[in-house]
Amino acid sequence: MKRLIVTINAEKVGHLDQGDSDRMVFCYDQGWLAKPDAYPLSKTLPLRTEPFDGKAARPFFAGVLPEQEPREKIAAILGISANNDFAMLERIGGDCAGAVSLLLEDFPTAPVGEPSLRRLTDQEFIDIVEELPRRPLMAGEANLRLSLAGAQNKLPVVRDKDWIALPMGDLPSSHIIKPEPKGFPGLTTNETFCMKLARFVGLNVPNVELYQAGKTPCIIVERYDRKTTPEGKLLRVHQEDFCQALGFPPERKYQQEGGPLVRDCIALLRDWSSVPVVDIREFIDGLAFNFLIGNADAHGKNFSMLYPPGSRRLAPFYDLVCTLAWPELSIRQAMTIGNCNSINDLMPDHFRLMAKENNLGWPPVRERLVKLCETIHTALADHNFQSQIASNSMTEKVTELVSNRTSVMLKRLALNVNLRIHKGKTVFIATPVTTNPSTFLQPGETFSPLNRFGQPNAKIELPAVSRLFLRLIPSTSIAIKTSKAALDLVQTGGLQPMAASGWFPGRNKYGGFVCCEKDGKITGVSQLFLTGELWGIDAWSIDIDTLKAFAKTNMRFFPSVALEREFASTLTNYLKFANETLHLTPPVRLIAGATDVLGYCMATNTSRFGGNVVDEHIVYEWQVDDLKTDPLVVLRPFFNYFWEQCGLDRPDVKILG
């Protein structure tokens, strides 16, 4: 039986054995367990006297090793099997991610004398960088035992302002060198751009710098899992990535291969972090940032937990790259957000679904998305940020990609969120409180007109169907005294209902209205409240039963140019009425939307068209500063949202005129 001693900063934690079946078994050292400040190597390896078999031990220990092509090359150089985790750890497990070192039994567990550094001349460093694709991690070099997870070639080094050195034996490294792969020209510029952008907008990331090694551009990343004592000694700080902490082996780092889901990651932080509220918030920021920069490769091994003494925290973000800069790379998200696979199809609703699945409030998540989009968009144009970035074609490409993605997401968020008014400017009047944004009527309440004596007349119901709605809310109440006065304004000002067809005027306890009805049910109405608010409801245009009868189909035609015309003509009428009849003083608040609708799109292989649930309630809000504004200017982002949601190109058809 072979044995490796597992240490943290030269202190024995336990031992890892390889049995006859080549399966690893880990057991904590009794001395470590007796320490009052002892902590586990992994969430999946809690402190206990009983050993952990291979199934439990492998995710953590295999998780510190290189992957894919580098691993195969290392195995060939060392003359071992690429699938033999223990043999790989035996040969290169001296300096790993975090604080763990795996040493041979006869290796000293405490430093003897001063550990040696192998300082490199400029030419030696260039030669090593050129050699890395053929000799990953300098495998086989005498007294050099270095390991880093991942599929990209990289090398742990000790970095000083004037020199670079290789850490020999058990000496910890301070930085990681990542040369640019020949197959991905511009990767170093791309990653440096994204990492510096993340830092500029307030995300927690390690310092990075570009470094030219001969003809090969490199990134030098300062290790966040290291700290320097007041005496100048470099110590390791323990860490593990999310796959290790959740018990997923490295070959299952992608969700589609059975790896971690977003909800697994959030559950980990909620259960394991010392400050879960803060770390979950920062993790959501990291997810959003990866989406906004176009990084489809944010898998479970690209997020980590850091274990400084006495705490467990989300580690700084790393490996931030705009993968969309290479069209040949997959756009499938490594971890889906809200069941959306493609990073190019992600909508605010997917983030809202993600928030709901994880018991997170959508308003604060949405607010952080908005803030991050705005901050990134501002940073891209900031001279202080631009001065940190090399100017070349890759920088221009990534800047354009990120700028476009943040702009589009901001527009989409504007369709789903409450209107944000600058403090001290405008406070809009109170509007009816309802449980459904498409109606001012309470559940069970009928729309009851009053006769000329002010008594209830025949009751009219608002059918429980999908509805369109449009509201115009003044910033200052005009205080219409009676519902009869409101009705007079409705009639003299030419107010029209949504879905106008054979309407009649009336009044009720709310004010005056114009209404269309069929068989005692409202099909369309425009209500003037005593406060001056206008509220339109269309319960006909997207009613499923109406459409079945009209078009002999189960589809609800949404979006469509016909519905755009209805919104636009209604808003045109409302703005004119507000200006010429009510004489409202701008700004006014516009709220438009639809409730409980289905959109259509070219969909599955089993049918020509497939219903797409657009949203339970779609709410678009805007501040109108000029009552003579072209309604299409106000509504165009609203219309574009629906076509984008349903994956359709809008027909080149005029809405009005």
Q: Point out the least confidently predicted range of 60-64, 92-96, 289-293, 326-330.
A: 92-96
Q: How far apart are CA 357 and CA 263, in angstroms?
A: 7
CATH number at 317 reads 1.10.1070.20
Total domains present in the chain: 3
> Are 486 and 568 in the same domain?
yes
Predicted confidence band of residue 109 (pLDDT cuts 50, 70, 90): very low
Residue 349 lies in a domain: yes
pLDDT at 624 over 70: yes
pLDDT at 33 over 60: yes
Phi first, then psi: give them for residue 640, nearest 5 degrees: -60, -35
> Are 42 and 174 in the same domain?
yes
Instruction: Say what the alpha-carbon torsion angle 43, 45, 49, 50 is, to the nearest 10 degrees.
Output: 140
> Are 32 and 152 in the same domain?
yes
Please state, rounded to an integer, the average pLDDT across all residues of the chain.
83
> Are 42 and 137 in the same domain?
yes
Residue spans of beta strands (DSSP E) within 279-382: 304-307, 313-314, 332-337, 340-342
Residue 655 lies in a domain: no
Side chain identity, residue 601: C
pLDDT at 237 over 50: yes
pLDDT of residue 612: 42
Residue 334 lies in a domain: yes
Side chain identity, residue 348: P
Mean pLDDT of 51-55: 91
Q: How far apart are CA 18 and CA 85, in angstroms?
A: 10
pLDDT of residue 430: 55
Q: HSE of 145 in the Cβ direction (CA atoms, 13 Å)?
A: 19
Residues with catalytic roles? 297
> Are 157 and 30 in the same domain?
yes
pLDDT at 61 over 80: yes
> Are 481 and 375 in the same domain?
no
> Are 404 and 478 in the same domain?
no
Distances (CA, A) of 405 to 209, 317, 324, 399, 639: 25, 20, 11, 10, 19
Peptide bond into 449 cis (omega under 30): no
Predicted confidence band of residue 112 (pLDDT cuts 50, 70, 90): very low
Residue 362 lies in a domain: yes
Residue 188 lies in a domain: no
pLDDT of residue 543: 56
> Are 122 and 18 in the same domain?
yes
Which domain range does residue 528 map to? 467-645
> Are 82 and 157 in the same domain?
yes
Residue 51 lies in a domain: yes
pLDDT of residue 657: 47
Mean pLDDT of 352-373: 89
Q: How far apart are CA 421 and CA 623, in angstroms?
A: 8
Q: Which of 196, 225, 214 is nearest to 387 (CA)?
A: 196
Residue 404 lies in a domain: yes
| Strand 208-213 relative to strand 164-167, pairing | unpaired
pLDDT at 570 over 60: yes
Q: What is this structure's pTM? A: 0.67
Q: Which helix (H) or strand (E) holds 401?
A: helix 393-414
> Are 521 and 624 in the same domain?
yes
Neighbours of 266 (CB within 10 A): 22
Burial 137-169 (b: 16+ CB within 10 A, else e): bbbebeebbbbbbbebbbbbbbbeeeebbbbbb
Q: How far apart are CA 188 and CA 319, in angstroms?
A: 11
pLDDT of residue 647: 60
pLDDT tens column, 162-204: 899 988 877 888 999 999 988 899 999 999 999 999 999 999 9
Q: HSE of 72 in the Cβ direction (CA atoms, 13 Å)?
A: 4
Outline where 63-186 has alpha helix (H): 68-78, 85-92, 122-131
Q: Which two tokens stand for residue 22?
A: 């080549």
Q: Which residue did the predictor score with more confidence, 456 or 492?
A: 492
Q: Which two tokens stand for residue 38?
A: 């002892």
Could you tell me if 380 and 395 are in contact, meaning their C-beta atoms sit under 8 angstroms apart? no
Look at the block and give the residue holding tokens 């000496």. Answer: 171
Residue 421 lies in a domain: no
Dihedral angle sign, alpha carbons of residues 22, 26, 27, 31 = positive
